[in-house]
Structure formats: structure tokens, C-alpha cells
Amino acid sequence: MHAFSLVGTPYRWGGNNPRGGFDCSGLVVYVMRRSLGTTLPRTVEQMGSVGYEIAWEDRLPGDLVFFNTTGSELSHVGIYIGQNRFVHAPREGGTVRLESLVSAYWGPRITAFRRLASESHATTKP
């Protein structure tokens, strides 16, 4: 719910708060710190090693969803909120927004779902 409340906040590269705006990883760091008290690494690539990977069918609201948008397996991140939707900060000139995981653009670019927890195990990618 906290991520959903930030929809409409301006995108800003390197941004990490609602007043200054967010980039994708800044949004995730901010939301996870405020809602779970968890401090995450600042970059998408570093976030890709936190928690554990889960299968597409096991995803739950609050899980992180990673995308390949630049040729790198971990180049974009959002927060899954349920019903095949996620919140993210997509690009310069945009705002934090809600999107569908099954859209023609985002669906094929999904590379992983990760759950933040102390236990660690891996499953297959979606």
C-alpha cells in the first residue's frame, strides 16, 4: 500500500524521496525502509542478491520484480502489488506509476521475482 500511495511522484535519476522524486531503485529502497524497516542496497544489480528468488506463480504483494530493459538481466526493479500489477519509477520525464506485468512491453522483460527474507533458496525463473 505504501508503494501505491507514491503513484504520481515525479521520476528523478538518483532520486530517493517523495519531495525530490524517485528512480526505480530509490523508490524500492524508500518503500522497503518505510514499510518493513529493511535497508536495501541502492542499485538494482545489488538488490538482485538480496532475499531469495521465487517462481512467477509464488509471487506475493511486496515481492520485488526485476526486468531487463537495457540488455542487462537486472536493469530495472519494481514492487509487485498483486493482480499482475506492480509499482515502479519508469523513466526520465515520467512519474511513479502502476503497470501490468502481462503488458506487451513489461511481460517479456521480466527476469526475476525476489522475496525479502532471512532464509535463502532459489526456484526457477518465470
Our answer to whether residue 24 is catalytic in this structure is yes
Among the listed residues 32, 54, 63, 76, the single catalytic one is 76
Strands 110-115 and 21-22: unpaired
Q: What is the pTM of this model?
A: 0.89
Label residue 84 by pLDDT band (50, 70, 90): very high
Element (H, E) at 100: strand 97-100
Domains belonging to the chain, first-starting first, are 2-115 (3.90.1720.10)
Among the listed residues 59, 88, 114, 115, the single catalytic one is 88
Position 50 pLDDT exceeds 90? yes
One-letter identity of residue 21? G
Out of 16-25, 48-57, 116-125, least confident range: 116-125
Label residue 2 by pLDDT band (50, 70, 90): confident
Our answer to whether residue 2 is catalytic in this structure is no
